[in-house]
Amino acid sequence: MATRRVLIFTIFERFWHWTQMSLIMTMLVTGFAIHGLYVSMPFDTAVTLHTLAALALLALWILSTFWLFTTGNWKHYVPTAEGLGQVLRFYSYGIFQGERHPYRKAYWRKHNPLQAIAYLALKLVLFPAIWISGLIYLFYFAWGDVRFAAAGLEWVALIHTATAYAILTFVVIHVYMLTIGHSFAAHVAPMLTGFDEVDLTPEEEAYLTADEPSHIR
């Protein structure tokens, strides 16, 4: 078993991540302007940006979902209880004792169990909730004449807003997690360069060295 620097985030994943980051930040900033939490942004600008960013994000999600399934990368997100207890114990106790993070990145398991569950929940609960409610909201003009449409819109808006608060909460925790362990910069670096330290089996190391020399340093 050797620890090597391995390409774990391909160009597409990095593009996906940072584009998604920009779009989600745009959605949050413009969404809360539409909601009226602050009024310094003109409403029409907020609606326009929010709508365009939403459409772009939907396209990106379709693209990334296709990518996840065709490349087999979906496997990284399969939830597992193995090691979950250790990770939870680390964040709530061990970290304060100066312990080392219990999880080692593996070649086919780049997220720790807590990350995997968090990202899966994001993909399966929060994202669908926000884009389904958002699309229903966006297409209000098409169903505004049905009975109880006004009351329906209020519920759609409530779900949409509640999900937005949840996603903002995720963002806060996600960014905070980058400060744990190594430096903030060291945590961000893999999503910029694509390379991170991964524990490789001798077979994996041999395979990468022989067949994917550009993926290993």
Partner 1 sequence: MHVLPGILLSLALMSVALAPAQARTNWPTPPVVVDTNPQVSGPLTGGTADHRKFEILQKPFASGPDVTKACLSCHTETGKHFMKNIHWTWDYKDPVTNQQLGKKYLINNFCTNARGNEGMCAQCHAGYGWKDESFDFTNEGNIDCLVCHDSTGTYYKTPNSTGNPACSVMFEGKPVIDLSFVAQRVELPKRANCGGCHFNGGGGDNVKHGDLSSALKSPPRDLDIHMSPQGLNFACTACHVTKDHVWAGSRYDVIAKDEEGQGKPGQRRDVATCESCHGTTPHQSGSIEHRKLNHHVASVACQTCHIPAFARGGVATMVDWDWRTAGKTKNGEGYHEEGYLQGNGEERYTYKSIKGNFTYAENVVPEYAWFNGQMHYTTIDTRFDTNQQPIAINAFDGSRDDIRSRIWPFKRMHTWMPFDTGNGTLVYTHLWGDDNESYWGNYDMGKSIARGMRDFGLPYSGQFGFLETISYWPITHMVAPKEEALACRECHSQDGRLAAVEGVYLPGRDRSYWLDLFGVLLVSGTVGGTLAHGLMRHLLRKHHKGENH
Contacts made by residues 163-171, CB under 8 angstroms, sequence distance 24+: 163/126, 163/129, 163/130, 163/133, 164/27, 164/28, 164/31, 164/32, 164/35, 164/130, 166/126, 167/24, 167/28, 167/122, 167/126, 167/130, 168/28, 170/118, 170/122, 170/126, 171/24, 171/28
- Annotate each residue in 106-145 with x if it binds partner 1 (CB under 8 A) or - if it does not, as one string: ----------------------------------xx--xx
To the nearest whole angstrom, how small is the minimum distance from the Cβ of residue 15 to partner 1? 5
Q: How far is CA 198 from CA 1, 45, 124, 169, in A?
A: 10, 45, 27, 29
Here's the x/- map for partner 1, 34-63, by CB under 8 A: it reads as xxxx-x--xxxx-xxx-xxx--x-------
Report if residue 2 touches partner 1, rule: CB under 8 A.
no
From 58, 63, 122, 153, residue interacting with partner 1 (rule: CB under 8 A): 153
x/- letters, 74..103, toward partner 1 (CB under 8 A): ---------------------xxxxxx---
Residues in the chain: 217
Give me the residues that bind partner 1 (CB under 8 A), please: 11, 14-15, 17-23, 26, 34-37, 39, 42-45, 47-49, 51-53, 56, 95-100, 140-141, 144-145, 147, 150-151, 153-154, 157-158, 161-162, 164-166, 168-169, 172-173, 176, 179-181, 192, 194
